[in-house]
Amino acid sequence: MIEYYYDKNGLIHFVEKHSENKQTSGIIRDKNNADKLIDSGVEIAPYVEPVKTAEQLKSEVEQELKSLDASSRTLSNALLGDQWAIDELKRLEAEKVILRDKLQAL
């Protein structure tokens, strides 16, 4: 049995199960083949975004927050009056505020 489904980019994926432990899967990239498949009446399931737990979402936001820490070079340059570094620190802090609000909402 072959199952078909759309991914979030609109491509058609297929999974063919041969036995309990073996399967073949792939993507139909050729538009003509996709059109033929659709025209044949094959049922193609819509793409469903995987559900994440609240803990997973919190962890992702915390990782993003950590990634926004300014480098020591940026901090040093900001202290020396480098306008780009000062603007970068402001941008990073604004993004952190948004992420902290998002984390608090979770």
Quick check: 10 pLDDT over 90? no
**Residue 96 amino acid letter:** K
Per-residue pLDDT tens digits for 28-48: 888 888 888 889 988 888 867
User: The whole model's pTM is what?
Assistant: 0.49
Across the chain, mean pLDDT equals 88
> Is the Cβ–Cβ distance between 34 and 48 less than 8 Å?
no
Distance CA 29, CA 46 (A): 17
pLDDT of residue 30: 86
Specify the DSSP class assigned to residue 9.
T
